[in-house]
Amino acid sequence: MESLQSKEYKKEFVTQFPGDDSGDVKPRQTPGVVFYSKAAPTPVKAPKLLAWSEELAQELRIQKPATQAEIDILGGNLVTETMYPYAACYAGHQFGNWAGQLGDGRAITLGEWPAPDGKTYELQLKGAGPTAYSRRADGRAVLRSSVREYLMSEAMHYLGIPTTRALSLVSTGDQVMRDMFYNGNPEFEPGAIVMRVAPSFLRFGSFEMPAARQEIDNLRQLVDWTITNYYPHIQGEDRVIVWFREVVDRTAHLMVEWMRVGFVHGVMNTDNMSILGLTIDYGPFSFVDNYDTQFTPNTTDLPGRRYAFGQQPGIGQWNLGCLASALAPLFPNTEQLVAELEAYETKFMQKYRAMLGNKLGLDAVLEDDVHLLTQLETMLATLQPDMTIFYQLLMTLPEGEQDQAAVVSHFQESLYAELLPKERDMLHDFITAYKARLADNSISKEASQERMQQANPRFILRNYLLSQAIDDLTKGDDQLFNDLQEAIKEPYSNKHDRFFVKRPDWASHKPGSSMLSCSS
What residue spans of 386-420 are helical by DSSP H?
387-394, 404-410
At 151 the three-state DSSP class reads helix
Q: At what angle do helices 479-487 and 463-474 cross, to 10 degrees?
A: 140
Could you confirm whether 271 is annotated as catalytic? yes
The C-alpha atoms of residue 277 and residue 253 are separated, in whole angstroms, by 8
DSSP type of residue 398:
P
DSSP string, 194-242: EEEEES---BHHHHHHHHHTT-HHHHHHHHHHHHHHH-TT--STTHHHH
Q: What is the DSSP letter of 430?
A: H
CA dist., res. 517 & res. 30, Å (int): 28
| Whole-number Å distance between alpha carbons of 23 and 364 | 56
Q: Is the dihedral of CA 407, 411, 412, 416 positive or negative?
A: negative
- C-alpha angle with apex 185: 181 to 188, nearest 5 degrees? 95
R_g (Cα) of the chain, nearest Å: 24
Give the C-alpha separation, 34 to 19, whole Å: 6
Q: Which of 218, 211, 202 is nearest to 98 (CA)?
A: 211
Which residue among the candidates 271, 281, 289, 292 is catalytic per the annotation? 271
Coil/strand/helix, residue 504 = coil
CA angle 332/338/342 to nearest 5° reads 165
CA–CA dist 300, 304 (Å, integer): 9
**8 Å CB contact between 259 and 313:** yes
The answer to whether 16 and 33 are in contact (CB under 8 A) is: no
In this structure, how many other beta carbons lie within 10 angstroms of the beta carbon of residue 402? 17
Helix ranges, 61-193 (H): 68-75, 143-159
| Catalytic residue set | 271
